[in-house]
Amino acid sequence: MCIPGALAIKTDMEMARDPFFFGYGSLVNRATHVYEPARPARVRGWARVWRGTSLRKLAYLSAIEAPGVEIEGLIAPVPGGDWAALDLREAAYARHALRDVTHDLPGAAEVMIYKVEPRHVAEGGAHPILLSYLDVVVQGYLREFGEAGVGRFFETTGGWEVGVLDDRDAPQYPRAQVSSDRERGMVDAALKDLGVGFL
**Residue 169 neighbours by CB distance under 10 Å:** 7
Residues 55-113: tens digit of each pLDDT: 999 999 999 999 999 999 999 999 999 999 999 989 889 999 999 999 988 776 899 99
Residues 30-69: tens digit of each pLDDT: 999 999 999 999 999 999 999 999 999 999 999 999 999 9
Please name the fold of domain 6-194. Answer: Hypothetical upf0131 protein ytfp (3.10.490)
Domain boundaries, the chain: 6-194
Q: What is the pLDDT of residue 91?
A: 87
Cα gap 137→150, rounded to integer Å: 9
Find the Cα–Cα–Cα–Cα dihedral 152, 198, 196, 74, rounded to 10°.
20
Residues 181-191: tens digit of each pLDDT: 999 999 999 99
Cα gap 110→123, rounded to integer Å: 32
Can you spell out the DSSP letters for 73-97?
A: EEEEE-GGG--HHHHHHTTTEEEEE
Q: What is the pLDDT of residue 15?
A: 52
Q: What is the pLDDT of residue 125?
A: 76
Q: What is the share, in percent, of the chain residues with pLDDT greater than 90?
A: 81
Write a three-state SS string for 1-49.
CCCCCHHHHHHHHHHCCCCEEEECCHHHCHHHCCCCCCEEEEEEEEEEE
β partners of residue 43:
71, 101
C-alpha R_g of the chain: 17
